[in-house]
Each structure stands twice: as C-alpha cells, then as structure tokens.
Amino acid sequence: MNATAKVVLVSAIASGQGKTTTTAALARKLVGLGKTVRIFKTGPDFIDPMMLERACGSAVHSLDLWMVGQAASEAMLAQAAQQADVILIEGVMGLYDGNPSSADLARAFGVPVLAVLDASAMAQTVGALAMGLRDFGPVHLAGVIANRIASDGHAAMVAAAMRDIPLIGSLRRQTEALPERHLGLVLPQEVERIESILDALAAELDLDMDAWDALPATIFAVHETPSVKPALTGKNIAIARDAAFAFLYPANLDCLRALGAELLFFSPLANQSIPANADALYLPGGYPELHAQKLAQASTWLASVRAAHAADMPILAECGGMMAICEGLVDQQEQHWPMAGLLPGQVVMQKRLAALGAQAWQSDDGEMHGHTFHYSRFDTSLAASMHTVKQATGQAGEAIYQCGNLHASYFHAYFASNPVATARLFLRKAY
C-alpha cells in the first residue's frame, strides 16, 4: 500500500533566514485554501514545532535520520501522507549543516527542497545562492521563497535572476515578526496576538499557485508499525506541563501511551500538586528560569515533589525539570531563587551557550537518542552516575545524576528511540 502527498523540505543557507516564519505562513495560507497540512521539524526542537502546530492545526513531530531513525521517520511521513494533502518539513540551520543534514534527509526520502532566502540586502545574488544550494549536494531544488522583499520591483529582480529555478513565492518585510528569546521563539501561548500574526503572514505571502501546483507529489510505502510491549500498563505518569515545563516531544507522549501508561498532566506554575494517584513523575524541560519566583513560592507543588522523592517515586527530570529540583536557581538578573532541593547545588544562568548537540544515553537496554541545548551550568557536589555520549565525536556528554529512583540530566531523551529503556525509567526499582 502506498500513500501520496505533495511534500517539500523548507531549508535555507543558514539560521535566521526565516524558515519558521515562511513555513508557518505557507502552512496557514494552504490551510486557508482548504488543504490539509501536516508539518514536521528536522532534528531536535521544541519551540518551532509549537508555533508550527498553531499554523497548521495538528501536532508537529521531529524527523531525523539519527535521533528518530530513518525507518521511523519514513513511517511517520507515510502516515501523514495518508491524512494530508501537503507535508511541510522545516529544516534545521543551513541545508548542508550537520551530520546528518537536512539535505541528507531530503535525499533519503526523495523530497524536493524549497529554499527560503533572505533578500533584504540583495537582489540578483539570490539566484547565485539558490544555484549553489542546488548544485553543492546536489539536491532537487524545487524552487525559492524570497523573504523580506521590499517591493514588487525587488521581487521582479529576484525572479529574473533565478534562471531555471522557480520563484515560488515571496514574503514582504514583516511589520510584526514572531518574537524570540535566548532558546528560540517565544512560546506561542505567550504571544497575545499569535493567531492574527499568523493570519497576517499568510496574507503577506505572495504564492505563485501555478508554480506550487506544478510541484510533484511524493509516494511513500505504508508498512505496519511494530508494536511496543506495554510495559507500563496500569501505571499513571504525572507530567508537568505549563510555560515552565513546555519542552515535550509529542512522540514522547505517544511512546508512553503505547507503553500502556495513563498520562496525568499538572501545572507547578499553578501551584498544583503531583496527582495523588501518580506512580511516576516526568519533569520535562522548559523555561523555569523565567518563572523562578513563582516556582519558588509554589508551596503545594514543592511539598508534593519532595514527598514523591522521599517515597522513592520514579522521577525523570530533563534540563529545565532538573533545574527546578536542585537547591537553587540563579536567573539572568543574578537573583537567587530556592527550588525543590532534591539535588544538591545550584543552576546558574549564563549568557553564552553551555551545550548543544545530539547525544545518546547508554543504558542496560541499549542506546536512547536525544539532544542537549542549554544556557546554564549546574554547580553541584553530586557525582554523576554516568555521562551521555556525543553523537558527533563519541566523547562524554551530559552528566546523568541518579538518587534512588530519581534520574536527572540536561539531556533531553527521545523516548521512541528506545521504548524498553524508557519504560524502565518509570518503573520503581529496589535499591
């Protein structure tokens, strides 16, 4: 059985060209034209997918030849092709950056590339950049969307320089852009006018419908998805989810459900306690540093997590989740805030990037893939139980701290890369 959809990978020469803005604008425009649109994000990312979900109306999953795996990525594309008219895949960094790169992913699945090029400080040179992107790999470059166009005349100059590469669309300089902060875009739920901003971007996108309609469809073979042993059947997993704990792969939630777990969401920022019937706790990453005062004053939440740890409940705390359970957090204004105190030491925010990249957790059940991305350091006397391994170099990566059934690290795990190891993290062990 096969599934067919129009698929493009949206990439660029570098970060900052407007890939997310353009992908969101394109998705919103196509949805407005009555198309069913699914979006994927290349590589590890939490924030862009949340924004893109608002643009298209459905969850945005990661595709990555290493973290997710080629077979699993292809299965997700095939499933989406059964449901959608159009699939947009937003690339990461520049088209050829990383190993594997966005170009590697496009070639692996026979997907054409749509290049977003910032034309704000150039005109005809956009053509040279497009030809370079096409020929360096090479890749199947389906066309270009020129971003930050100043006028119709500017767009005409760019189009004339493209030679045999179609200018599929252009996007005017935005009067209101998607806001950003230190880890990327601001979370969409924090942007008051997010829906109107997305609608305006769609309206400002001048899309050549003839060129768009001429793009070929991609065919995917549909295979039966391997079943997962439901090792967490009967287990209730409490998951912190609010603006301070927002960095959750949708695939992680899907994996926990496939393992048989019931998911119980609660908000530490709303001073909610861990649900009374929880068997385990998952504290994902997010922005605790932006909400440190509120977390420090959330007495009900703090008492519940301390009680859970005292009862040796299985707890997985990732990045921001780990920051919230150490003794203290020093924010960007150098103010110190007491946290839950389950781990000795304090997290200190800093202006420079502390770590970024794909890593693997070597467990007794094999590798679990994931990544790290943070602007803080953890000053602690606690010895690491082990370290992750950097995918690029094989060197030691993030420390993993273990205190009884508590595991904490800056490492963000992609659960579906190893469901067996995932299940073991949420099952109580005797020590």
What CATH code is carried by the domain that includes residue 276?
Answer: 3.40.50.880
Residues 162, 259: one domain? no
- DSSP annotation of 180 reads E
DSSP 426: T
Q: What is the chain's mean pLDDT, rounded?
A: 93
Q: Please answer whether residues 100 and 106 qualify as being in contact, where contact means their C-beta atoms are separated by less than 8 angstroms.
A: no
Q: Output the DSSP codes for 99-160.
A: TTTHHHHHHHHT--EEEEEE-TT-STHHHHHHHHHHHHTT--EEEEEEEEE--HHHHHHHHH
Q: For residue 205, give both structure tokens.
A: 């996108």
Percent of the chain past pLDDT 70, that is, above it, reads 95
Of 165, 192, 221, which residue is a domain's last? 221
Specify the pTM: 0.93
What is the residue range of 101's domain? 2-221
DSSP 282-316: EE-BS-GGGSHHHHHT-HHHHHHHHHHHHTT--EE
Q: In whole angstroms, give the CA distance from residue 141 to residue 123.
A: 19
Residues 295 and 172 in one domain: no
Q: Would you say 221 and 386 are in contact if contact means Cβ atoms under 8 Å apart?
A: no
Sign of CA dihedral 303, 306, 310, 313: positive
Would you place residue 189 in the very low, low, confident or very high pLDDT band (cuts 50, 70, 90)? low
Residues 151 and 279 in one domain: no
* 369 token code pair: 């893939």
Does residue 179 register a pLDDT over 70? no
Residue 226 lies in a domain: no
The reply to whether 248 and 150 lie within a common domain is no
> Model confidence over 327-347: pLDDT tens digits?
999 999 999 999 999 999 999
Q: Judge whether 130 lies within some domain.
A: yes
The answer to whether residues 8 and 97 belong to one domain is yes
Structure token pair of residue 38: 């699914």
Evaluate whether residue 285 is within a structural domain. yes
Residues 71 and 118 in one domain: yes
Looking at the structure, tell me whether residues 159 and 194 fall in a common domain.
Answer: yes
- Count how many domains the chain has: 2
Is 388 part of a structural domain of the chain?
A: yes
Say whether both 215 and 358 belong to one domain.
Answer: no
Instruction: Examine the residue annotation and report whether 56 is marked as an active-site residue of this protein.
Output: no
Q: pLDDT for 227-246, tens place per residue?
A: 899 999 999 999 999 999 99
* Res 1: pLDDT: 83
| The domain boundary residue, chosen from 221, 246, 273 | 221
The answer to whether residue 14 is domain-embedded is: yes
Distances (CA, A) of 395 to 43, 53, 57, 318, 400: 20, 35, 40, 20, 15
Q: How confident is the model at residue 193 (pLDDT cuts 50, 70, 90)?
A: confident
Residue 413 lies in a domain: yes
Task: Indicate whether 345 and 290 sit together in one domain.
Answer: yes
Q: Are residues 33 and 114 in the same domain?
A: yes
> What pLDDT score does 348 carry?
97
Active site residue: 255, 319, 326, 403, which one?
319
**β partners of residue 387:** 399
pLDDT at 177 over 70: no
Regarding whether 145 and 21 lie in a shared domain, the answer is yes
Does any domain span residue 228?
no
Q: What is the pLDDT of residues 293-331, one digit of tens each?
A: 999 999 999 999 999 999 999 999 999 999 999 999 999
CATH of the domain at 49: 3.40.50.300
Last residue of a domain, one of 221, 252, 278: 221
- Pick 236 or 429 by higher pLDDT: 236
Let me know whether 420 and 315 are in one domain.
yes
pLDDT tens column, 30-75: 999 999 999 999 988 888 898 899 999 999 999 999 999 999 999 9
DSSP assignment string, 43-74:
SS-SHHHHHHHHHHSS--EEE-IIIIIHHHHH
Task: Report yes or no on 307 lying in a domain.
Answer: yes
Q: What's the confidence (pLDDT) of residue 178?
A: 63
